[in-house]
Chains A and B, each alone.
Chain A
């Protein structure tokens, strides 16, 4: 599936994202497993609420981290996350 700025990603069914203080990281939890997320992955995935589009998420990240030109990186990551079923899109 192709991801565009209009795609609206949401954390996948049976996955849960949460901050783990012991690991100082966001983690994705699923049946009998866990993925520890690096900072970038965590920041994107926690914004995948099913309400914000990829465009909105990019704008928010650029604002929060005072950065520019993140759009392609966000799209690439959401594509990867879709393949892994970490997110679903509507």
Chain B
């Protein structure tokens, strides 16, 4: 019985497995204005949010297919008045329920109602370690409020899962961010370097850190791990611009992730709606079963059959599935191309150029004003990324 130790993450490469992870983006509305938000730049055009009943249908149908982790995200999900109802229904159906929040709107009454509804976990995002930077980066006054939210979360017996998106303007504060995590007694800390989608792509040159900054931040994170041991689980996600092989985006297209946008589009990843020439199904008119197994949107980039060179003959094609389709579209202008992060891509120089610019402090691209995420800016820019 030596196989006792072989408990492992679920994945079935031979057939289309179930959409284990359901991400319910319940609204694009948000009190924050983060410059690296991954929501589509034209989010303000997609205002028609699903109703409570429509979300119930999504939750039920995805659970029937085997979805088991359910994330409530946004925008700021707390802005939905029916969030407690949605969580209760998800809990009743047997999901493990996760709330991804900025903490804005979380008060005693609501956290008690969410706990009562069966919410399993809350991930709280911070923008930086200090009030000044947190509020500057989110263009709000929310830092003290977040500290209070952290205390509330802890007091109701939830694990403290803290997320901080890292970029050029806060990466030098890693030590202080870890200090803050320690103060709020975080059990899990995710230091996720910005990935360049949505608003982060608009502000890319202003946000990409230098190599020196990145190495320093990694060193401090590792030192912290050695010093503090297992008490706090630390995840440091490097920006893929500094890699020469792409990430296995979403663990493979249509493999385990299913995102539902506020207005009811079903996507294989939360940024895929930007891709041209691909119609994504709507949960108002299709069942989740049809969406997951039969739709063109989900089948187009499943597996390796769609690939062209250099991917199709690449010995690593099963390892990363050609990387990210959105990045291929944004950088190589072709969603069927290899992710240009890969040094085999003929467009890899575009990534290299951006990285090289990031090493020159104060270059003109880098000091352009940041564009904050907001409905007005969204309508003005009027483009997907």
Measured CB to CB, the residues of A under 8 A from B are: 13-14, 16, 18, 20-23, 25, 27-38, 40-41, 44, 70, 73, 76-77, 80
Contacts and interface: CB of A to CB of B under 8 A. Distances in A.
Nearest to A31: B121
B5 A36 contact: no
A32 B7 contact: no
30 contacts: A14-B187, A18-B94, A21-B66, A22-B65, A22-B66, A23-B10, A29-B69, A30-B96, A31-B120, A31-B121, A31-B123, A31-B161, A32-B71, A32-B121, A32-B161, A33-B69, A34-B9, A35-B8, A37-B7, A38-B3, A38-B6, A38-B8, A40-B1, A40-B3, A40-B4, A41-B7, A44-B4, A73-B2, A76-B4, A77-B5
B188 interface: yes
Residue of A16, A29, A31, A40 most packed against chain B (CB within 10 A): A31
Contacts of A37: 7
Contacts of A34: 9-10, 20, 68-69, 96
A29 B96 contact: yes
Nearest to A37: B7
Contacts, number: 78
Contacts of B1: 40, 70, 73
Contacts of A73: 1-2, 4
Contacts of B10: 23, 25, 27, 34, 36
A35 B10 CA distance: 7
Nearest to A61: B1
B375 interface: no
A76 B4 CA distance: 9
B18 interface: yes
Contacts of A20: 66, 68
Give the contact-size bracket for chain B: 20 to 34
Nearest to A42: B7
B98 interface: yes
Residue of B2, B4, B6 most packed against chain A (CB within 10 A): B4
Nearest to B188: A31
Sorted nearest first, the 9 A-B pairs with minimum C-beta distance are A22-B66, A36-B10, A29-B96, A31-B121, A77-B4, A73-B1, A41-B7, A22-B18, A14-B159
A23 to B, nearest CB: 6
A31 B66 contact: no
A31 B121 CA distance: 6
A33 B10 CA distance: 10
A34 B17 CA distance: 15
A79 to B, nearest CB: 10
Nearest to B20: A34
Nearest to A25: B10
Contacts of B7: 28, 35-38, 41
A41 B4 contact: yes
Contacts of B188: 31
A70 B4 CA distance: 11
Nearest to B1: A73
A29 B120 CA distance: 10
Contacts of A29: 68-69, 96, 120
Contacts of B9: 34-36
Contacts of B68: 20, 22, 27, 29, 34
Nearest to B19: A22
A25 B94 CA distance: 15
A68 to B, nearest CB: 12
Contact of B123 (A14, A32, A36): A32
A84 B9 CA distance: 14
A53 to B, nearest CB: 18
A14 to B, nearest CB: 5
B186 to A, nearest CB: 12
Interface string B107-128: 0000000000000110100000
